Structures are given as structure tokens and as C-alpha cells.
């Protein structure tokens, strides 16, 4: 292992050790061992002149701005010409040695280093003028703050948020209407935050795709050698293959297979001539440089007919349209629904019931409507809320028109919170679906979480309700009663504090030894001492309990329950082992349930693979996902779900 790889490894190891230590769980190393590794890291940083963002030897101060300053780029950042044809891509390369790489789907940033230190970071903006985000860039997870090269270095890279981080962030958000649409939008907002502490919590990473300036370095006229040199400086450089026209089809096919398991967002490929002088000699058009071209995946489309548009109200009042169409096969799965997002898109597509439409999966993942071949425009935008029947209104925000329910007492604004409360990872009250909650709210049986524990007051009415009966009623009451015995962390997650997922709730409960009064009256400064709870989450938690009505309701709820301490089996075969879980699961309802099982057996779950990881659980053990690749690099066993269950002592598999 070279020194730069060791620096990255030590940064991960020490940060993980600090995270475990400050979360109040068992230490993963002694203070002596920590100090020894810390000293090794300091020595390597001094020897190489390279310091990674997030290095425990550095303390990056957060910065809050009123607005982001603007700055003109030294050279314009042009877009690339595009093709969807592999044949055109092969013809572009011809016999020239070229580099085929991922076209990353995030936010482009320009990083400038002077005297070996990060000097400036600027977004692409309009290609000529960008926004300065230097303070935010210093919180990115994988860029070096210091590098061995001491001249002026300018590189371009794509700031991204991985799918796993994107899903984790969305999982912590209660209301579907508040969830982020895709990793690109989340990344753009994260990079351009006015408060860099928010950026720090989003796990933004940068993948470098171009070297603009590095005076005095001889790259032997090769772009590939530029990339290799950038890697020696500590940068994560875009994944790539060397190609010519002769092997283009084979290379594109390989990329198209890899994208299915990639943890990072990509919307195509980029082909770049390796010969720097030749590429530069070609010049550029008014819009595009001539030394490179982008390849966009040819989307698989299918024709179908629009049958319905569902309007779904949320707790914010936003009413989201979802297109329902005759089922079609796309990218190996059956698709029959696609979000239309807002009223503006409905109008642009001129949607009407019965229209012939074409649908596709954006980036081979997200179902979208491509075209409306009929364009009847006969779809009526509802003037009443589908939940409460109250008046709706169309509001324009950022040039997009959306539909809102303006009734402040709309039950939908409460139903989503109740739906979270009864969900499996929260209070796990079986038999109460969203539709059942709607009925209970409509009939006035339920207004608060505590009301769910007094449904016996309405026995006769519930038994007589359409679709119910004595058996259904008895099952619901039994499930409600069973939920009274629960862990405090599940209750805190269940009440829907913005940003506080089950994992965060557990961190807080462990920190305060499950003392209800201490938790309710926690101060933000105390909460931020918990590794994994940042300023934003701490503020959200404290703001929730500052409301006396919420605090009173929480104590009323606790009075209905019997709290039990989190049980952890410290004698199990996996006790003390560290696991990372990725991919789909078969023997558990979802990954969260598998993680709960691991923790109940005394194991630990983390989100990323490091040298301290004992096992990566992935049912697709042969995939080329980023986690699998990292595990292979570190010689960490990749095991299936069945392998894990046997490892944990299960004999019934």
C-alpha cells in the first residue's frame, strides 16, 4: 500500500474510531492505539504534503454566509456535443487512443490549489460565472485539503451524493412531499448551502474529470497520465477505460452493465482524446470543444395509454399528481406508475385520460413520461382536495406551478404523521393502513397519537364500518396493545421529529441512558456531542420539544406505554462485529430490519466499508458495486444473507 492510500485508510479508521467513541458505544481501539495511528497519519501527511478533507488532524471551521459570492471562470466551461449512437462514438475515436469515462450526474465544481493547499472552489454556474463555495468544499468527504504539488493547480470535478447516502437522507424525512427527488438535486442544494455545517452532513464527494492547469509538470502529452498524476495527488478520479473505435462497442457494453450496480449517479459517458496536443488543435465551436463528446444512454421507451392521474395530498398541503397507465416492461421490470411532479408538467405534456404516451426510465431507474402522442389536454386539475374536499389553489414556485390544499385542518396533514407512527420501524401497529387511518380520522376517532390507544371507545362504530368486523377490530386492538411495550428510541422516531430517523433516535437514547426527562430537555450543545448528530438535527430535535403542546402530548403518550431498554445480545457469535449492509434482502422485510437484527445480536452496522469492517452483506456477492470493490480492496469478506444468518448462529436456514 502506498503512502497516499495509507493516508486515506488512516483517515477513515481514526474517524470511525472517534465516531464510535463519542457515540457512547464500545471503543474499537485503545487510546494508545488511536494515538499511535494518529501519529502515523501526521507523519505521512508531513512526508507527502497531502491532507484529506475530514482528516482528524484538521479542524475545519464552519462558515455561514448571507449569500454566495460570484466569480468569473478563468476559461469558459463549455458543454459537450452529444450522441446516443455507439457507431458515432466509435467513428469519433477512430484510430485515436481515447479515454471513455463516466459522465457524472451532480454539480460541476472548479477546485484551485496554491502552495499545496485548497485555495478556492467555484461552481460551474452558467459556464462563465460561478458561485464561490470554498468553505463548503472543505467539508467534502474525499478531496485533499493539502497536496504534494506546490504550483497552481486547477481541476474540474463533479460533486455528487451517492445513492446510498441519498436514500439514507430521504429515509430520515417523514413526508414524501419533503423528500428529495434525486441525488443531483440534493447535491446541488448541498454544495450551494449558505451554512457549511449543513453541507458537512450531506456526505458530498467530488470525482475529478479534468485537469485545467498544472504548470511545470510533464504529462508526456497524455490525458491518461494527467489522471494518473491526479490520483497520486490524492484525488478520486473518474472511472475510465482506454479505447479506440475498434473496441468501442465492447467498452460501452461493459459500462452499461456496471451502471446497474453503481452507487454513484451517472447519466452517460464521455469520450476524450488521450493526445492532448491533437485534441487542443481541433479547437471548438461556439458551444462545444471538439476534443470530446458525450454519450447518452439510448433510453428504452414503451408506448402505453394514460388511464388515471392520482392526486396525493401531503402534510405540507402539496398535492402531487401521479400518472397511472397500462403496465409496460422497461429495463427488465413492469412499470405502471410515474410521478408527473407538478401542474406545469401536466400542462406542458397536454395530458388527458386515454392519451397514448411513451414512458421510459430516466438514467435506467426512475419512470418518467417521455411524450404525449395524443396531447388531448382534457385532464382537469381538481379544485377540491382529494382528502378533505376543501378548496385547492395553484401556486407558482421557481417557475413551476403546483397544486395545494389550503385547508389548515386537512386530515392529510395529520395522516402522514400517523402513518409513520404505526409503521413497522416505529410502533409497529399492524392492521392500520393509510386507508384505515383516513377512516378513523374522518370519523373523529383519532386526532393524536394517544388516541390510537383508546380505540376501544369506538368498538361498535369500528365493527360496523365497511370492510371491518369483529375479527378486524380484535386484531387491531391486539396489535395496539402489543405496541404499548416498546423501546424509547422507536417512540422518538415514531413522533416524526424532522430528520431524526430510528438510528439517530437510538444514538440519543443511548447517550442519555434512556432518561425521558433528560432527552426531552436536551440542549443542542449536548446533542452535538453525539457523533452522528450535527447542528441541524440537534436544532430540529430541540425545536420540537420547545413547543409545550408537543412536550405535553409526548408525556401523555409515554404514560400509555411500558418502556423497555434496548436488548443487545453480547454473547452471540456476531457480538462486536462490524457489518455493512447493501443491496436487496430476502429473509428480512427490508435492510432496516436486518440492521435491527444485527444490533440486537450485539453487532454493529455502519454505512461505509472501511478497514474496520468485518463483513459486507450483499446477496449479489459478485457485483461490481462500489462497496463490493472497496471490500475486495481491503480483503473484507463479502457474504450473502444466508451466510450471515448461519454466521449469527441460525440453524434453520
3 state SS of 275: strand
Residue with cell 440486537: 600
Q: Rounded distance, CA 577 to CA 364, Å? A: 36
Give which of 620, 615, 618 is closest to 637, Cα–Cα: 615
Contacts of residue 562, defined as CB under 8 A and 6 or more positions apart, other chains included, come to: 484, 485, 486
Which stretches within 220-294 are classed as H helix? 223-232, 248-258, 276-281
Sign of CA dihedral 82, 85, 89, 92: negative
Contacts of 507 (CB under 8 A, 6+ apart): 23, 530, 531, 532, 533
Among candidates 363, 301, 302, 354, which has minimal Cα distance to 323? 354
Catalytic residue among 103, 138, 141, 577: 103
Burial of 479: CB neighbours in 10 Å, binned 0-12, 13-18, 19+: middle
Task: Tell me how crowded residue 469 is: count the other CB atoms within 10 A of its CB.
Answer: 13
Note whether 180 and 260 are within 8 A (CB): no
Dihedral of alpha carbons 119, 123, 125, 131, sign: negative
CA distance 101 to 239: 6
Exposure string for 602-630, b = 16+ CB within 10 A, e = fewer: bbbbbebbbebbbbbbbbeeebebbbbeb
Contact 605, 579 (CB under 8 A): yes
CA distances 437 to 55, 420, 454, 464, 581, Å, are 48, 11, 14, 16, 33
Does residue 109 contact residue 137 with C-beta atoms inside 8 Å? yes
Strand partners, 647: none
Rounded Cα distance, 202 and 133, in Å: 15
Pairing state of beta strands 107-114 and 117-123? antiparallel
The span from the CA of 2 to the CA of 633, in Å, is 13
What's the rounded Cα separation, in Å, for the pair 118 and 144? 8
103 is catalytic: yes
Per-residue CA distances from 121 to 18, 79, 204, 517, 604 (Å):
28, 20, 14, 45, 36
Cell numbers found for residue 498? 424532522
Q: List residues with catalytic annotation.
A: 103
Amino acid at each position: 500500500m502506498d503512502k497516499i492510500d495509507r493516508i486515506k485508510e488512516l483517515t477513515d479508521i481514526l474517524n470511525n474510531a472517534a465516531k464510535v467513541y463519542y457515540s457512547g458505544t464500545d471503543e474499537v481501539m485503545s487510546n494508545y492505539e488511536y494515538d499511535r495511528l494518529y501519529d502515523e497519519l501526521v507523519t505521512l501527511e508531513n512526508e507527502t504534503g497531502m491532507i484529506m478533507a475530514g482528516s482528524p488532524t484538521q479542524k475545519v471551521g464552519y462558515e455561514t454566509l448571507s449569500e454566495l459570492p460570484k466569480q468569473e471562470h478563468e476559461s469558459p466551461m463549455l458543454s459537450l456535443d452529444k450522441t446516443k449512437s455507439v457507431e458515432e462514438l466509435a467513428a469519433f475515436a477512430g484510430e485515436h487512443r481515447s479515454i471513455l469515462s463516466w459522465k457524472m450526474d451532480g454539480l460541476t465544481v472548479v477546485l484551485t490549489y496554491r502552495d499545496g493547499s485548497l485555495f478556492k472552489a467555484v461552481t460551474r454556474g452558467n459556464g462563465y460565472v460561478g458561485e464561490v463555495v470554498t468553505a463548503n468544499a472543505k467539508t467534502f468527504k474525499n478531496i485533499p485539503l493539502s497536496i504534494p504539488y506546490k504550483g497552481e493547480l486547477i481541476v474540474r470535478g463533479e460533486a455528487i451524493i451517492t445513492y446510498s447516502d441519498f436514500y439514507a437522507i430521504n429515509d430520515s424525512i417523514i413526508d414524501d412531499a419533503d423528500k428529495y427527488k434525486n441525488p443531483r438535486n440534493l447535491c446541488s442544494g448541498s454544495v450551494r448551502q449558505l451554512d457549511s455545517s449543513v453541507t458537512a452532513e450531506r456526505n458530498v464527494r467530488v470525482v475529478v474529470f479534468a485537469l485545467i492547469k498544472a504548470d511545470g509538470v510533464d504529462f508526456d502529452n497524455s490525458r491518461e497520465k494527467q489522471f494518473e498524476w491526479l490520483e497520486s495527488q490524492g484525488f478520486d478520479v473518474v472511472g475510465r477505460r482506454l479505447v479506440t473505435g475498434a473496441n468501442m462497442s465492447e467498452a460501452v457494453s461493459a459500462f452499461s452493465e456496471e451502471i446497474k450496480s453503481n452507487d454513484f449517479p451517472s447519466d452517460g459517458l464521455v469520450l476524450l482524446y488521450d493526445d492532448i496536443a491533437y485534441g487542443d488543435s481541433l479547437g471548438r465551436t461556439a458551444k462545444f470543444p471538439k476534443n470530446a463528446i458525450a454519450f447518452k444512454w439510448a433510453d428504452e421507451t414503451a408506448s402505453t395509454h394514460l388511464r388515471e392521474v392520482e392526486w396525493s395530498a401531503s402534510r405540507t398541503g402539496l398535492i402531487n399528481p401521479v400518472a397511472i397507465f397500462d403496465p409496460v416492461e422497461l429495463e427488465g421490470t413492469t412499470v405502471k406508475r410515474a410521478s408527473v411532479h407538478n401542474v406545469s408538467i401536466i400542462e406542458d405534456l397536454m395530458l388527458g385520460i386515454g392519451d397514448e404516451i411513451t414512458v421510459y426510465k430516466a438514467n435506467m431507474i426512475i419512470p418518467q413520461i417521455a411524450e404525449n402522442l395524443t396531447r388531448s389536454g382534457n385532464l382537469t386539475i381538481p379544485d377540491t382536495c382529494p382528502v378533505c374536499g376543501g378548496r385547492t389553489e395553484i401556486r407558482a414556485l421557481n417557475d413551476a406551478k403546483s397544486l395545494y390544499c389550503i385547508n389548515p385542518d386537512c386530515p392529510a396533514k395529520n395522516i402522514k404523521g400517523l402513518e409513520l407512527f404505526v409503521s413497522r420501524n416505529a410502533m409497529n401497529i399492524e392492521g392500520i393502513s393509510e386507508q384505515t387511518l383516513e377512516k378513523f380520522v374522518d370519523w373523529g376517532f383519532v386526532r393524536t397519537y394517544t388516541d390510537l390507544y383508546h380505540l376501544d371507545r369506538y368498538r361498535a362504530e369500528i365493527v360496523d364500518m365497511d370492510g371491518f368486523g369483529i375479527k378486524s377490530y380484535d386484531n387491531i386492538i391486539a396489535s395496539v396493545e402489543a405496541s404499548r411495550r416498546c423501546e424509547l428510541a422507536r417512540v422518538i422516531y415514531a413522533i416524526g421529529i424532522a430528520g431524526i430517523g430510528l438510528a439517530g433516535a437510538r444514538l440519543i437514547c443511548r447517550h442519555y441512558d434512556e432518561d425521558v426527562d433528560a432527552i426531552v430537555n436536551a440542549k443542542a450543545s449536548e446533542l452535538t456531542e453525539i457523533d452522528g448528530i450535527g447542528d441541524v438535527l440537534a436544532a430540529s430535535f430541540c425545536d420540537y420539544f420547545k413547543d409545550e403542546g408537543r412536550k405535553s402530548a409526548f408525556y401523555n403518550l409515554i404514560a400509555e406505554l411500558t418502556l423497555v431498554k434496548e436488548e443487545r445480545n453480547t454473547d452471540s457469535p456476531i457480538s462486536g462485529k462490524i457489518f455493512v449492509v447493501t443491496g436487496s434482502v430476502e429473509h428480512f422485510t427490508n435492510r432496516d430490519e436486518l440492521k435491527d437484527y444485527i444490533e440486537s445480536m450485539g453487532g454493529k452496522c455502519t454505512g461505509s466499508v472501511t478497514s474496520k469492517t468485518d463483513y459486507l452483506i450483499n446477496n449479489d456477492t459478485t457485483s461490481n458495486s462500489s462497496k463490493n470493490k472497496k471490500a475486495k480492496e481491503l480483503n473484507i469478506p463479502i457474504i450473502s444473507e444466508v451466510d450471515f444468518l448461519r454466521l449469527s448462529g441460525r440453524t434453520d436456514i
